[in-house]
Amino acid sequence: MKRAAADAPPLTPATLSSAVATLATRDRDLAAVVERCGAPPMWARRPGFATLVRIILEQQVSLASGAAAYRRLSDAVGRVTPARVLRCPAARLRGAGVTRQKTRYCRGLARAVTEGTLDLATLNAASPESVRDQLTAITGIGPWTADVYALMALRHPDIWPPGDVALVTALRDVKPRATGDIERIVEAWRPWRAVAARVLWHHYLCRKGRGTARSGSGGE
């Protein structure tokens, strides 16, 4: 699947810096965040099965809890690959602290990749809409998980993960006088919604005294 000509290329440190500057000239609230906290980090992850599993484990929990769950899963299976996840008995994964539901989700994803129902490599050049459609066809992957994968692993520049708690909290904090719904506010940040998300995550972490990891989890 080829990337449509109209699609912007993946973010790089250089394009991230340029986009932050552009947003700062268009939105004084985002500019205030950048002035106070500095520019946000790239916060990129390696595309592939292991990253998608980790994002599944981060659903509806803090990043710290998600990271702990991923470490326990890694301890149980070794390198996180579809074959190793499928070979590991579900009871062992649950014994390692992975919930019954997320064990089912991770094994279902592993089965889809192994059987060829989902080809993660093709997502690298797919449009955000195609990424979402293909990933949400897998049980346990909702719009938030699909969009965080597109934003973080594929580095699409114009993604806004729906229902991300940290983003909603930061947006309301940064724009306390704003009226209307979130979608209207976010639309003004096209074609750099993923960059605006990084600025808001950066604000969220600065307020908490943390600046080294993305924060946010969605409900799916």
CATH number at residue 130: 1.10.340.30
Using alpha carbons, select from 155, 113, 106 the residue that is nearest to residue 8: 155
How much is the pLDDT for 183? Answer: 85
pTM: 0.91
pLDDT band for 213, please (50, 70, 90 cuts): very low
Identify whether residues 130 and 198 lie together within a single domain. no
Domain finish residue from 115, 137, 152: 152
Q: Which of 24-33, 88-97, 168-177 has the highest mean pLDDT?
A: 24-33
For residue 201, the enclosing domain spans 13-43+159-207
Do the Cβ atoms of 146 and 132 come closer than 8 Å? yes
What's the structural domain count of the chain?
2
How much is the pLDDT for 40? Answer: 97
Q: Assess if residue 28 is contained within a domain.
A: yes
pLDDT of 202 > 70? The answer is: yes
Domain finish residue from 152, 170, 185: 152
Identify whether residues 144 and 184 lie together within a single domain. no
Residue 180's domain is classified under what CATH number? 1.10.1670.40
pLDDT of 86 > 90? The answer is: yes
Using alpha carbons, select from 134, 113, 140 the residue that is nearest to residue 59: 140
Identify whether residues 98 and 142 lie together within a single domain. yes
Identify whether residues 138 and 61 lie together within a single domain. yes
Q: Assess if residue 5 is contained within a domain.
A: no
pLDDT band for 3, please (50, 70, 90 cuts): very low
Identify whether residues 165 and 81 lie together within a single domain. no
Identify whether residues 58 and 118 lie together within a single domain. yes
Identify whether residues 86 and 147 lie together within a single domain. yes
